[in-house]
């Protein structure tokens, strides 16, 4: 037997071609037989085969990926189509609800649910779940899936209550005639409206936190749907709140007669949430029947030596204690619930009449409502119409009437306007729309002295409160007249957020631009009544406008810095209801302008964009 050397007795990989072994054509096996090794040519052939297999596999992967992409694209287009059809149907829901069209609502909801279910089934399938793991589109796919999932939740939690509410309540059944309000079925529909609204709130809160989708077609459909969803949610929020507030506030349940103090504001003398409350009156409500009592001039309320309610140090610093001593100044504060509390106390002290709530209204709202109920005729021949009410009450009456006649004129205008409203027997929908537009512009405000009702009002536009919920950031820019005049007819105001930047800590910095212009012409000063020009205290000259600007930052935010067109600095900063407030006082000569840039930082823990709220806008001399 032939003995192998140690080199050849070691075990080797038969496919090995390393070292010298690769050059020997023959070798011997452990059994002594010679075996032919692979030739170099054959090795190259196997290597080529391996490369070819790899290439074929790579090509297969590419084809598979392309096929998957096509399948996903088709699925995405299907989802887009379902969402677009859902958008079209969603636009009809609110109309069906307020019209009480139960059969039409049922059909729309059923079809809408089908579209949402189809989209949810598609986005929950394996194709979307696999696509959700792709690096580039991962966040996009997840956003779409979560949005459709939120819509699916709405379908299961809100649609049935909506149908049930519609079975009880219809706007067509509501009547308002001769000062009596009838809301049949609204109280029974209330729990269903609340349930439906809660489902929409949950969905909107989920969608609001999701990033935009880079797939243009899907983003377009999602944007339309979420925007419409938000609109429907807002509409249902109003119906839900009304269904809970109307029965007790209108004494529809016959529990107790209500007295509401009405402040008729004149924006010719600005206050933070409107204008100086020149006329005060009470509307009494008993089992839905409204009875208006005579309005009186604010001068009927005496100037008190001490505030009627305790005033905080910050309030006194920002507004002086006159807000608690003088009826003209109760709404110096931009927090209307606070102004309502003070006005209630003043009225009750002066007239010994219990007040259940306070409402404020201005000439902008009256003009809009008069456009629905018809013109209002006054005893001196004046007719308030949908074209002249603002100019008459904000300017002409001060120019054309003697000061001794003005209190009676404005009191009569307030009484006659409310009487006209209560005599209305036309379309409730049209009247509701007019009130809704006035409320959205901040021209009608409401505060309830009953805690459970005020809690429902909080966070709504009609409440006129400073937002103290960190999750709903708000920037406030408010103005108050310091001239003690009716010169704000000549004050042009413009407030806007012009730029937003994101800081590294997650906070946002808002660049807010505030512009003021005195529209009074120097040549018109001599012909302008002294009552319009004002008392000219503290060295003011005729034609000048003295204005206080209050800039309120969001919760946990701050007014970081300011730039003034005249090179001046901000006067002071303070706090109000826990909000950081900057104060700037400006005196404008006739024809002069002023610009202020305020850089306002939001909380680093809140992602939502801030809402801009300002003193309600009105007609001015320029218009």
Q: Which pLDDT tens digit goes with each residue over 510-552?
A: 999 999 999 999 999 999 999 999 999 889 999 999 999 999 9
Average pLDDT estimate for 235-239: 78
Range of the domain at 306: 258-451
Task: Write the pLDDT tens digit of every residue in 536-546.
Answer: 988 999 999 99
CA 579 to chain centre: 19
Mark whether 130 and 181 lie in a shared domain.
yes
Helical segments of 401-526, H only:
403-423, 428-440, 451-457
Query: What is residue 137's predicted lDDT score, i.e. its pLDDT?
Result: 66
Asked if residue 621 is part of any domain, the answer here is no
The band of 14, judged by pLDDT with boundaries at 50, 70 and 90, is very low
pLDDT (mean) for 456-461 = 91
Do residues 245 and 310 both lie within one domain? no
Residue 458 belongs to a domain: no
Q: 353 in a domain, yes or no?
A: yes
For residues 271-286, average pLDDT: 97
Structural domain includes residue 403: yes
Q: Examine the fold and report which residue of 399, 417, 451 is the final residue of a domain before the chain moves on.
A: 451
The reported pLDDT for the residue numbered 288 is 92
Instruction: Say whether both 136 and 274 belong to one domain.
Output: no
* Residue 244 sits in the same domain as residue 265: no
| CATH code of 286's domain | 3.40.630.190
- pLDDT of residue 244 exceeding 80, the answer is yes
Pick the closest to residue 234 from 462, 431, 450, 475 (CA basis). 462
Q: Is residue 354 part of a domain?
A: yes
Same domain, 108 and 33: no
The pLDDT score that the predictor gives to residue 21 is: 44
The pLDDT, as a whole number, for residue 266 is 96
Average pLDDT over residues 57-68: 53
> How far lies 245's CA from each of 241, 250, 260, 291, 447, in Å?
6, 8, 14, 19, 12
Averaged confidence pLDDT in the chain: 84
Per-residue confidence (pLDDT) for residue 10, from 0 to 100: 42
Does the structure show a pLDDT above 70 at 451? yes
pLDDT band at 126 (very low <50, low <70, confident <90, very high): confident
pLDDT at 43 over 80: no
Q: Tell me phi and psi for residue 458, to 5 degrees.
A: -60, 135
**Do 560 and 600 have their domain in common?**
yes
Task: With a cut of 70, say whether residue 94 has pLDDT above it.
Answer: no
Residues 353 and 280 in one domain: yes
**Which of 249, 281, 297 corresponds to the end of one domain?**
249
Read off the pLDDT of each residue in 196-213 and give the average, rounded to a whole number. 75
Does residue 346 share a domain with residue 267?
A: yes
Q: Are residues 241 and 280 in the same domain?
A: no
What is the band of 46 on the pLDDT scale with cuts at 50, 70, 90? low
Question: Is there a single domain that holds both residue 238 and residue 290?
Answer: no
| Residue 73 within any structural domain of the chain | no
CATH number at residue 513: 2.60.40
| Token couple for 336 | 């209307």
DSSP 8-state symbol, 570: -
* pLDDT score of 51: 58
DSSP state of 170: -
- 622 in a structural domain: no
pLDDT at 553 > cutoff 70? yes
- Identify whether residues 421 and 499 lie together within a single domain: no
168 vs 100: CA distance, rounded Å: 8
The count of structural domains within the chain is 4
Residue count of the chain: 623
Write down the pLDDT at residue 3.
40
- The residue out of 249, 278, 307 marking a domain boundary is 249
Whether 457 is covered by a domain: the verdict is no
> pLDDT higher for 135 or 179?
179
pLDDT band at 209 (very low <50, low <70, confident <90, very high): low
pLDDT value at residue 276: 97
Lowest mean pLDDT among 93-102, 287-296, 381-390, 435-444: 93-102
- Same domain, yes or no: 225 and 262: no
pLDDT at residue 391 in the model? 97
Residues 6+ apart with CB under 8 A from 290: 179, 180, 181, 283, 284, 422
pLDDT for the residue numbered 159: 78
Residues 350-396 have pLDDT tens digits of 999 999 999 999 999 999 999 999 999 999 999 999 999 999 999 99
């Amino acid at each position: 037997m032939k003995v192998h050397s140690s080199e050849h007795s070691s075990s080797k990989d038969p496919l090995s071609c390393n070292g010298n072994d690769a050059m020997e054509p023959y070798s011997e096996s452990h059994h002594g037989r010679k075996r032919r090794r692979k030739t170099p040519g054959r090795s190259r052939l196997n290597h080529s085969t391996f490369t070819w297999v790899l290439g074929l596999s790579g090509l297969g992967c590419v084809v598979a990926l392309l096929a998957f992409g096509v399948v996903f694209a088709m699925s995405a287009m299907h989802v887009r189509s379902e969402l677009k059809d859902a958008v079209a149907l969603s636009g009809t829901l609110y109309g069906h609800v307020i019209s009480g069209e139960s059969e039409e609502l049922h059909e729309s909801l059923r079809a809408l649910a089908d579209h949402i279910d189809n989209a949810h089934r598609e986005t929950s399938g394996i194709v979307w779940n696999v696509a959700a793991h792709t690096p580039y589109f991962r966040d996009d796919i997840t956003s779409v899936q979560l949005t459709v999932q939120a819509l699916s939740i709405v379908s299961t939690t809100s649609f049935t209550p909506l149908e049930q509410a519609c079975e009880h309540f219809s706007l067509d059944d509501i009547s308002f005639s001769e000062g009596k309000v009838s809301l049949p079925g609204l109280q029974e529909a209330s729990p269903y409206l609340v349930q439906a609204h809660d489902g929409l709130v949950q969905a909107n809160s989920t969608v609001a936190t999701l990033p935009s989708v880079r797939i243009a077609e899907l983003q377009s459909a999602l944007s339309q749907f979420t925007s419409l969803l938000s609109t429907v949610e807002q509409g249902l929020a109003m119906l839900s709140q009304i269904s809970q507030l109307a029965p007790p506030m209108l004494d529809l349940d016959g529990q107790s007669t209500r007295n509401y103090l009405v402040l008729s504001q004149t924006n010719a003398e600005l206050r933070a949430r409107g204008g100086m409350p020149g006329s005060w009156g009470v509307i009494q409500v008993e089992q839905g029947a409204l009875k208006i009592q005579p309005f009186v001039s604010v001068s009927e309320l005496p100037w008190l030596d001490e505030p009627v309610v305790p005033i905080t140090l910050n309030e006194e610093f920002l507004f002086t204690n006159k807000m608690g001593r003088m009826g003209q100044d109760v709404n110096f504060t931009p927090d209307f619930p606070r102004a309502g509390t003070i006005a209630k106390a003043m009225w009750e002290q002066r007239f010994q009449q219990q007040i259940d709530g306070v409402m404020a209204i201005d000439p902008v709202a009256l003009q809009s409502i008069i456009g629905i109920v018809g013109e209002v005729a006054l005893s001196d021949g004046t007719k308030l119409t949908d074209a002249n009410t603002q100019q008459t009450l904000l300017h002409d009456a001060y120019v054309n009437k003697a000061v001794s006649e003005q209190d009676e004129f404005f009191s009569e205008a307030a009484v006659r306007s409310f009487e006209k409203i209560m005599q209305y027997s036309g379309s409730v929908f049209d009247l509701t729309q007019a009130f809704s537009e006035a409320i959205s512009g901040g021209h009608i405000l409401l505060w309830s002295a009953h805690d459970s009702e005020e809690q429902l009002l909080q966070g709504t536009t009609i409440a006129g409160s400073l937002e103290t919920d960190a999750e709903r950031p708000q920037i406030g820019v408010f103005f108050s007249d310091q001239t003690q005049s009716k010169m704000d007819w000549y004050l042009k105001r413009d407030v806007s957020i012009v730029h937003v930047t994101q800081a590294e800590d997650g906070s946002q910095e808002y660049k807010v631009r505030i512009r003021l212009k005195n529209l009074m012409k120097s040549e018109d000063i001599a012909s302008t009544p002294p009552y319009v020009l004002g008392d000219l205290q503290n060295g003011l000259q005729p034609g000048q406008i003295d204005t206080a600007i209050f800039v309120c930052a969001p919760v946990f935010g701050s007014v970081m810095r300011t730039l003034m067109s005249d090179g001046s600095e901000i006067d002071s900063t303070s706090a109000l209801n826990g909000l950081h407030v900057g104060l700037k006082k400006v005196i404008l000569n006739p024809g002069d302008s002023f610009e202020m840039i305020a850089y306002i930082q939001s909380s680093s823990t809140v992602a939502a964009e801030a809402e801009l709220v300002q003193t309600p806008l009105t007609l001015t001399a320029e218009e």
